[in-house]
Chain A
Amino acid sequence: MSGGVSDMTIVLRSLQTRALATGVATALVAIAVALLLVLLSLREAASQAFRRGTGNTHLLISADASPLVAVLNGLFYANAPANPIPWAKFKEIEDGFPWQWCIPTQLGDSFRGSPVMATRAEFLTDFEPVAGAPFQFSDGRVFEEAFEVVVGSSVAQDHSLQVGQQIVFSHGSSGSREGGHEHADHPYEVVGILQPTGSAHDRALFTNLASTWVIHAEEKRAHDTEAPVAEAPTPKSDASSSPKGEASDDHQHDHAHDHVHVDEADLRDDEKLITGILLRIPTRPGSDSSASIAAQFDRMRRDVSITVAQPAQQIGRLMALIGDIDWLFVAMAVVVLVSSAASILLAMVSSMELRRRQVAILRVLGASAWRVFALAITESTLIGLLGAGLGAALALLGGQIATTLLQERVGVVIAGAIDLRSAVLVTAGAVVLAAVAGIIPAIKAYRTSIARHLRPLA
């Protein structure tokens, strides 16, 4: 523009002459908008990650204390379930209904802190970690023989695992009470690496049940034969460890039991321990629900020896629980947004004396009262727009950083979490609030007495 002037020139000059106040108000709006957007997107992302993670399981059975714990342990690897389910119980459940699939799982071992799930091959072929999206292999195949392992994507990435590599598991998870000793005499061969699924399964390894049973049976039998020696009462150890505790004193005799050998065929039923069962009821094509789900749920719930959970329902409850807390954060962000609008109001009102003089001059030059009203509203709205734009950019950046951090620290893939609708709602909300903040200064401008504010400053 070749030096022309417009109403926008007046507004921009006004913002420019009060650069500090404009900057502070804009920054406050930006921070509030960014905060709100990041909170909303993380909230959405977290709930998605949880909802996705239950996959296409209809029912989950464990011996955990509560259904929620069962789901968190069994599908999100929160902890290794403490109580086993006897093999007989599994057979009873498996034969009790024409399931689409019935998959036993056993958790307890770990590889450098990542949980190892012993299960059947169906877990990788029939169970879908995200409903509608079965596991895909980036390399290799499903485990077939004993001591073969398939590795989740984050585990493979974190430890640079490749197909053909030999790895050793530890008993228990790292940091747990019984964690520590390695099954060094039974290395596993990596036969497959999974593609990322965006679920907790990316952080796990999968192997067949027989391998795990064999290892533990060998250790158990070795321990049993050595038991009298191990439990020879010395005053010191008697005082510090419980006689029945298999965990802590297990380590002391190290791998002295290496020679005990068990074959898969030799396994006794009481050595075939599992910690969970995933169940899916046949459904009509294109549908994920069936009336039988509730019926089977109710039937099995009467069995007090097991805990039955509908994973989707449990996650819904968990989200409702977390929801109350994170609404608090959202409410706080809204308060920040409102106070940023208040800062616009303050910035404009505090400069009102200078502004009134300007208004009086504009009125003398022919501007109507409505025009100066509109100028004030435009000014505050512009701060809102600028702040909202900056805030959205900041949130995008913050979202990226948060996503990267979550992926690195927790191994959960959360991508594209900013949902357009809430982004538009938040930025529009900020702009509207800013416009509203301009109303009081605008009214003051509208009502400015020209005559009084034209008098020379005495």
Chain B
Amino acid sequence: MTNFDPQGGVSIRGLRFRYDRGFTLEVARLDVAAGEQVLFAGASGCGKSTLLHLISGIETPETGSLFIGGTDICALRGSARDTFRGRRVGMVFQTFQLLQGFTALENVLLSLMLGAPTLDRPRVRAEAALERLGMRDLHAPVERLSVGQQQRVAVARAIVTEPSVVLADEPTASLDPANAEAAVDLIRSAARVAGAALIVTSHDPALRSVFSRTVDVAQFGVASATGLAGAAR
């Protein structure tokens, strides 16, 4: 990680990932510049989530490189990759995936403790991140918060570690159109303030007009020979 460039974005080279069910995702080349905001579009099941999981190092590709700020996350092993993800990648999920039984503030503090333990004054940072997103009741258990409040906590948790890239997986899927727009605005502005690149996945065509750049994920899907044979069976 010595050559890590915090200003660097995401660069994918010769990536190949094979699903168990005989479907392959191949990305020859894809770049997201630092601070850039991109929509990964496509129908459900075309591989959007998988691509995000690959970028975050949750899934490991068969071959290829995936650079975040100049560091190849695919080359990192074990806890080094977990540490890198915690520090450089912020993730927002459709169902928020907040830790039940913890307060809003604790959810954000946990992100700092696990992902960026070297950052000073974690409590001040966590409170600032939440308040900037309009959260007032920091000590309420997350399960008692409204959907909108939970979303704010989820976003605060993703950006508090000052990541290079924020990955938002279908953040609007369970919201009505008005709230969906607000949610996307929230995530976009938070990423902008944090200086992080943003990749949002969505099957909702309405979002295409919001983002200046859209990548169609379906183009990366390859039904492999073995996969077809498997499907024919």
- Chain A residue, CB-CB nearest to B116: A366
Q: Smallest distance from the beta carbon of B21 to chain A beta carbons, Å?
A: 14
Inter-chain contact B123/A3, CB cutoff 8 Å: yes
For B56, what are the chain A residues with a Cβ–Cβ distance below 8 Å? 364
Residues of B within 8 A of A48 (CB): none
- Nearest CB on B from A136, distance (A): 63
Whether B177 is near chain A, meaning CB under 8 Å from some CB there, is no
Complex interface: chain B residues within 8 A of A370 (CB): 79
> Which of A9, A358, A369, A455 contacts B82 (CB under 8 A)?
A369
* Residues 237-265 of chain A, each 1 if its beta carbon lies under 8 Å from chain B, else 0: 00000000000000000000000000000
CB distance from A372 to the nearest CB of B (A): 10
Q: Binary interface profile of B, 146-167, with partner A (CB < 8 Å = 1, else 0)?
A: 0000000000010001000000
When the two chains form the complex, which single residue of B97, B103, B109, B123 contacts A364, counting CB atoms closer than 8 Å? B97
Q: CA of A182 to CA of B97 in the docked complex: distance in angstroms? A: 87
CA gap between A362 and B91 in the complex, in Å: 12
Complex Cα spacing A2 to B138, Å: 13
Asked if B105 CB lies within 8 Å of chain A CBs, one says yes
Query: Which of A16, A360, A365 is within 8 Å of B110, CB to CB?
Result: A365
Which chain B positions have C-beta within 8 A of A366? 82-83, 85-87, 111, 114-116, 161
Given contacts A5-B113, A454-B97, contact A365 B86 (CB under 8 A): yes
Give min CB distance, B104 to chain A, whole Å: 11
Q: Are A365 and B93 neighbours in the complex by a CB distance under 8 Å?
A: no
Q: Is B99 an interface residue (CB 8 A)?
A: yes
Q: Which of A16-42 contact B (CB under 8 A)?
A: 16-17
Contact residues of A: prevailing secondary structure: helix
Q: How far is the CA of A5 from the CA of B107 in the complex (A)?
A: 9
Does chain A have a CB within 8 A of B95?
yes
Number of A residues with CB within 8 Å of any CB on chain B: 31
A328 contacts chain B at the CB level, 8 A cutoff: no
Which one of A3, A364, A454, A455 has the highest number of Cβ atoms from chain B below 10 Å of its Cβ? A364
A450 to B91, CA, bound (A): 13
Is the pair B93, A369 in contact by a Cβ cutoff of 8 Å? Answer: no
Task: Say whether B53 faces chain A, with CB atoms less than 8 Å apart.
Answer: yes
> How far is it, in angstroms, between the C-alpha of A358 and the C-alpha of B101 when the chains are bound?
11
Interface string of A335-377 (1 = CB under 8 A from B): 0000000000000000000000110111111111111000000
Residue B58, interface by CB 8 Å: yes
Chain B residues within an 8 Å CB radius of A295: none
Give B151 Cβ to nearest chain A Cβ, in Å.
14
Q: Decide: B58 and A5 in contact? CB cutoff 8 A.
A: no
- In the complex, chain A residues whose CB is within 8 Å of the CB of B95: 456-457
The answer to whether B83 and A368 have CB atoms under 8 Å apart is yes
**Shortest CB–CB separation between residue A186 and chain B, in angstroms?**
81
User: Is there contact, CB below 8 Å, between A13 and B101?
Assistant: yes
> A228 within 8 Å of B by Cβ?
no
Contact B85 A3 (CB under 8 A): no
A residues 244-302 with Cβ under 8 Å of B?
none
Tell whether, in the assembled complex, residue B99 and residue A358 are in contact, meaning their CB atoms are under 8 Å apart. yes
B94 within 8 A of A: yes
Q: How many residues of B contact A (CB 8 A)?
A: 41
Contact of A2 with B123 at beta-carbon distance under 8 Å, contacts A364-B85, A366-B86 already known: yes
A456 to B92, CA, bound (A): 12
Contacts of B111 in A (CB 8 A): 365-366
CB of B212 to closest CB in A, whole Å = 28
A132 interface residue per 8 A CB criterion: no
Tell me the nearest residue of chain B to A16, going by C-beta.
Answer: B101
Known A5-B106, A361-B99, A450-B58; judge A368-B85 contact (CB<8 A). no
Q: Which of B78, B114, B116, B173 contacts A367 (CB 8 A)?
A: B114
**B219 within 8 A of partner (CB):** no
Q: A371 to chain B: which residues have CB within 8 Å? A: 79, 82, 114
In this complex, what residue of B is CB-closest to A12?
B101
Which residues of chain A have C-beta atoms less than 8 A from B122's C-beta?
Answer: 4
**Which of A2, A6, A10, A369 gathers the greatest number of chain B CB atoms within 10 Å?**
A10
A368 to B84 CA separation, bound complex (whole angstroms) = 10
Cα–Cα distance between A5 and B100 once the two chains are bound (Å): 14
**Does A367 lie within 8 Å of B86, measured CB to CB?**
yes
* Interfacial chain A residues near B173, Cβ < 8 Å: 456
By a CB distance below 8 angstroms, the chain A residues around B91 are 364
Given known contacts A2-B123, A16-B101, A366-B87, A451 and B114 CB-to-CB distance under 8 angstroms: no
Closest to B79 in A: A368
Query: How far does the alpha carbon of A360 sit from the alpha carbon of B106 in the complex, in Å?
Result: 17
Which of A3, A13, A14, A366 has the most CB atoms of chain B within a 10 A radius of its CB?
Answer: A366
Q: Are B78 and A365 in contact (CB under 8 A)?
A: no
Pull 19 A–B residue pairs with CB atoms less than 8 Å apart, ordered by A: A3-B139, A5-B102, A5-B106, A5-B113, A13-B102, A14-B101, A361-B97, A362-B110, A363-B82, A365-B115, A365-B157, A366-B82, A366-B111, A366-B115, A366-B161, A368-B78, A368-B79, A451-B49, A451-B58
The chain B residues found within 8 Å of chain A, CB to CB, are 49-50, 53, 56, 58-59, 78-79, 82-83, 85-87, 91, 93-95, 97-103, 105-106, 109-111, 113-116, 122-123, 139, 157, 161, 170, 173-174
Other than the given A361-B99, A366-B82, 17 more pairs (CB < 8 A) read: A3-B139, A5-B110, A10-B110, A16-B101, A357-B97, A364-B56, A364-B85, A365-B110, A366-B85, A367-B114, A368-B83, A369-B79, A371-B79, A451-B49, A451-B53, A456-B93, A456-B174
